[in-house]
Amino acid sequence: MISIEYLTSFNILKIVLIIVSTYIVSKVLERFFVGSLQKKYKKSAIIQVQRIIRIIICISAFLLILWTFNIDVTAVVAGLGVGAIVIGFGLKDIISNWISGIIIITEKIYRIDDIIKVGNIVGVVRDISLRSTKLRTYDRDEVIIPNSVMVNEKVINLTRGRKETISSIVFSIDYTSNTDEAKKIIDSILRKQKNVIIDEKRKREIRFVVRIKEWTVDIETLFWINDPENEEFIKSDITEKIKKEFERKKILPPIPATLRKEFLERKK
């Protein structure tokens, strides 16, 4: 017969092996996932991933130890399942954010320093955790958005890791003004801007879309800039310069015919 001491020692040895194996597996998995994430994501997101890995490994090790002592693991799992359902109802928003955070990180929907648009909010991604994403808007506000919202909303990545993005400004002029001259003025000023990229080999060009309306000609100007984070300030500077040049060249804003003569007389 096998002695009780032998069985006890054998069980202790199995427990030690489970603990050691758990530690090794945990480190291997952490190194694998952390190694693939640390170059793209901040430390806060990596720590969250490490915590989830450790929780899963520890629960698995706990169940194995119970099995070593011939405890009905099925009943324990069932009990844990009921408890998880109860807890899940209370923590459903947190769990939803965590799952969404994993989706965002693994599918690389956006990264740190990308400029994204979520609904009406445009900002620079400053932090990605499993719970939320932090954006900095153009007016320097910090906006924290739950990851469950990020996954369910339409997210437009405006830069995709590049330090450049396409921008646009619409200039409205009177329908009697010379559209070609207006386009030349816009083109000339854009080419002098240090933040505007002109590189025809990479298709970084200035392009125009002209829309004619009842009293107005809208000239939508598309161009590339090298500082997406400050896009609104760059566009503001460009708009001011073009407005001044339009005034100097008598390129009129949209005005009704009855007021056009009066407007021109004031500008003389």
The domain that contains 176 carries what CATH number? 3.30.70.100
Residues 173 and 146 both lie in one domain: no
Domain that holds residue 63: 4-90
Cβ-based burial of 35 (10 A; exposed 0-12, middle 13-18, buried ≥19): exposed
Cβ-based burial of 234 (10 A; exposed 0-12, middle 13-18, buried ≥19): buried
Report yes or no on 247 lying in a domain.
Answer: yes
Query: Residue 97: which of 127, 132, 70, 126 has the closest Cα?
Result: 132
Residues 234 and 180 both lie in one domain: yes
Boundary (domain end) residue, out of 157, 185, 213: 157
Single-letter amino acid, residue 107: E
Residues 131 and 178 both lie in one domain: no
Domain count, the chain: 3
Return the bridge partners of 247, or none.
none
pTM above 0.75, yes or no: no
Residues 169 and 263 both lie in one domain: yes
Cβ-based burial of 154 (10 A; exposed 0-12, middle 13-18, buried ≥19): exposed
Q: Provide the token pair at 139.
A: 């007016």
Q: What is the CA radius of gyration of the chain?
A: 31
Residues 134 and 173 both lie in one domain: no
Residues 263 and 170 both lie in one domain: yes
Q: What pLDDT is stored for residue 87 in this prediction?
A: 46
Q: What pLDDT is stored for residue 218 in this prediction?
A: 94
Beta strand 115-118 with 132-137: parallel, antiparallel or unpaired?
unpaired
Residues 225 and 200 both lie in one domain: yes
Residues 79 and 113 both lie in one domain: no
Report yes or no on 97 lying in a domain.
Answer: no
DSSP annotation of 119 reads: T
Q: What pLDDT is stored for residue 37 in this prediction?
A: 58
Residues 151 and 173 both lie in one domain: no
DSSP annotation of 202 reads: G
Q: Provide the token pair at 133.
A: 């994403």
Cβ atoms 173, 179 nearer than 8 A:
yes
Q: What pLDDT is stored for residue 172 in this prediction?
A: 93
pLDDT tens track of the chain, all 268 residues? 444 454 466 666 767 777 777 777 767 766 766 665 555 555 555 666 666 677 777 777 777 766 666 666 565 555 555 445 544 444 556 667 667 777 776 667 788 888 888 888 888 888 887 788 889 887 778 889 888 888 888 888 877 767 788 889 999 998 888 999 999 999 999 999 999 999 888 888 999 999 988 778 999 999 999 888 888 889 999 999 999 999 898 888 887 766 666 665 665 5
Q: What pLDDT is stored for residue 219 in this prediction?
A: 94
Residues 152 and 197 both lie in one domain: no
Q: Provide the token pair at 48.
A: 């969250």
Q: What pLDDT is stored for residue 238 in this prediction?
A: 95
Q: What pLDDT is stored for residue 86 in this prediction?
A: 44
Cβ atoms 145, 152 nearer than 8 A:
no
Report yes or no on 104 lying in a domain.
Answer: no
Report yes or no on 101 lying in a domain.
Answer: no
Return the bridge partners of 169, or none.
221
Residues 176 and 257 both lie in one domain: yes
Q: Describe the chain by its helix, strand, coil percentages, rounded to 5.
A: 55, 20, 25
